[in-house]
Amino acid sequence: MQELFNIFIKSIFIDNMVFAYFLGMCSYIAVSKTVKTSVGLGMAVVFVMGITVPVNYLINEYILKPGALSWLGAQFKDVDLSFLSFIIFIAVIASMVQLVEMIVEKFSPALYASLGIFLPLIAVNCAILGGSLFMQERDYQTVWQATSFGLGSGLGWFLAIVGIAAIREKIRYSNVPPALRGLGITFILTGLMGIAFMSFLGIKL
Amino acid sequence: MKALRKYLDKIKPNFEKGGKYHWLWSTFEGLETFLFVPNTVTKSGAHIRDAVDMKRIMSTVIIATLPALFFGMWNVGYQHYLSLGETTGFWQNFIFGLQKILPVIIVSYVVGLGIEFYFAQIRGHEINEGYLVTGMLIPLILPPDIPLWIVAVAVAFSVIFGKEVFGGTGMNVVNPALLARAFLFFAYPGDMSGDKVWIADKADSYSGATPLGHALVGDFSHLASFKDMFMGYIPGSVGETSTLMILIGAAILLITGVASWRIMLSVFAGGYLMGLLFNLWGANEYMQIPAYYHLVMGGFAFGAVFMATDPVTSAQTNKGKYIYGLLIGMMAVLIRVFNPAYPEGMMLAILLFNVFAPLIDHYVIEANIKKRLKRVKAIVNS
């Protein structure tokens, strides 16, 4: 239990997807203009990560890992399918995103309209694929650990995008040099937020 | 005074539109309004008629930092001679500290104001006074032995990337003084942390660790007494050591109404609360030190009084201020106790919640809108 909680906290704050690894930047920058839409996208990412990471964990554990297929019979114990992991992870993620898209369209057409192209695009959000690949690399022991890692990473991403959206709403009235307006100032802001998030760097859990 | 006024009036046409030095207008205007109260008034919108403008507010903050600054100068000398094992008089200590700190202040002002003037000139806006305070706060939160070129680099970074890219005073997201310190902390850790830097020109055999440095490595037998830490007879950054002097500054700020008492109160409350929680938990020796020790150790008081209350980067709503302050206090103590990488958590805690202050405000305002809508609906329905 303690272990699960530690993984959860660690993936939100210390190994934050945006500020520690700079993953998922495309939708993070493109959809962070208002808090409302960014909350919507953030929730979608939490949902997708919370489901894809454990599902990919099970696939990795029972199909892809070297020797994972030994449950089929002794003759399969040398099979190593890990070269397939990228394409299979992406397939799982893409189908999950389709599911989320249908749910959002059904229950919140306004959010669906404001997210626009970015909702299908979270299929290629690097944070989400990154989550699955980190899961594979870090060798989590149980599916629960993978789930808490997925949910935590999603929440960390959610926190990042909502935070920057609020700042961008505030600096809309600032006299930013014309050349920096939009993308430029957002990159600088992300860097400043990264400095602030370094407060968690080095905490051992 | 009159001659100066006359002279300014005489050369003024050269800088106005059509004059030959028009491109230097914002420099001239900045100097003129610094010397005299401006005689122009705003032309549109709602106004409040008041003698207090931004320049006077900034001056109040600078006056409030003076007790901490003078004590810091004395303390730099005191710690220096203490490490050499000599006992010296008040003035000798003070003059040694003055020699150490005055160059830092001058470098900070020259570099920062230079950049500010340059940006104002190029972008064609007036020169703002925000840097007067930042330029005073930066020397106060640096170790006394800091090389001057490092001060210049940090000031340049924080003024450009912390402030000018957002459009100058009043538009920045993070506190520029803290940004300068954080930049140095991560870029030049050798000059910003460890046991070597907190006492100027100290003798090699003398341990120069701050109370927080002792606490970080678990050495609680060398922890200074509460009285010493409160009075400030400890090594540390220039302005942060004496909680007493900082409280005098806080009184000035609160009486003149420049800083928000809500933020100060809730930062101290948050730190104390977290200290109490750790006392209850008590898993290691650091968690067992009395909760009020956290309030006088390191930069906690300085951050709470001068940094967290910055009206631009803190939360703007009243409810938001309580939340913002409480979270800063708790996070600062949390980082101190939990994070083995950093001895002090105040700087990063304030930066972190500078970043999240707009979000806090956003939700406070949303909640208020919802509440009022509900009230309207109740009236309409009844």
Span B364-378, average pLDDT: 94
Q: Return residues 266-285 of B near A (CB < 8 Å).
A: none
Phi-psi region of B146 (alpha: psi -120 to 50; beta: other; left: phi over 0): beta
B11 vs B51, residue with greater confidence: B11
B343 vs A144, residue with greater confidence: A144
Structure confidence at residue A111 as a pLDDT band (50, 70, 90): confident
Span B224-253, average pLDDT: 88
The tokens for B115 are 């950049």
* Separation of alpha carbons B128 and B371, rounded Å: 38
This prediction has a pTM of 0.86
In this complex, do A202 and B167 lie within 8 Å of one another by their Cβ atoms?
A: no
Q: Return residues 126-185 of A near B (CB < 8 Å).
A: 162-163, 166-167, 169-171, 173-177, 180, 185
Among chain A residues, the shortest Cα distance to B183 is held by A195
Across A154-168, B54-68, B207-221, B281-295, least confident range: B207-221
* Minimum-distance CB partner of A163 among B165, B345, B356: B356
Predicted local confidence at residue B58, as pLDDT:
83
Touching check for B370 and chain A: CB below 8 Å? Answer: no
In this complex, do B339 and A188 lie within 8 Å of one another by their Cβ atoms?
A: no
Q: Return residues 3-42 of A near B (CB < 8 Å).
A: 35
DSSP string across B318-368 = HHHHHHHHHHHHHHHHHHHHH-TT-S--HHHHHHHHHHHHHHHHHHHHHHH
* Separation of alpha carbons B125 and B119, rounded Å: 8
Q: How far is A64 from chain B (nearest CA, A)?
A: 38
* Minimum-distance CB partner of A195 among B166, B338, B351: B351
* Separation of alpha carbons B329 and B39, rounded Å: 43
Half-sphere exposure of B364 (CA within 13 A, CB side): 16
CB pairs under 8 A between A and B: 94
* Minimum-distance CB partner of B166 among A166, A176, A201: A176
Q: How far is B359 from chain A (nearest CA, A)?
A: 5
Predicted local confidence at residue B51, as pLDDT:
66
Predicted local confidence at residue B353, as pLDDT:
93
Structure confidence at residue B249 as a pLDDT band (50, 70, 90): very high
Rounded to two decimals, the ipTM of the complex is: 0.86
- What are B318-369's pLDDT values in tens digits? 999 999 999 999 999 988 888 877 878 888 899 999 999 999 999 999 999 9
* Minimum-distance CB partner of B352 among A188, A199, A202: A199
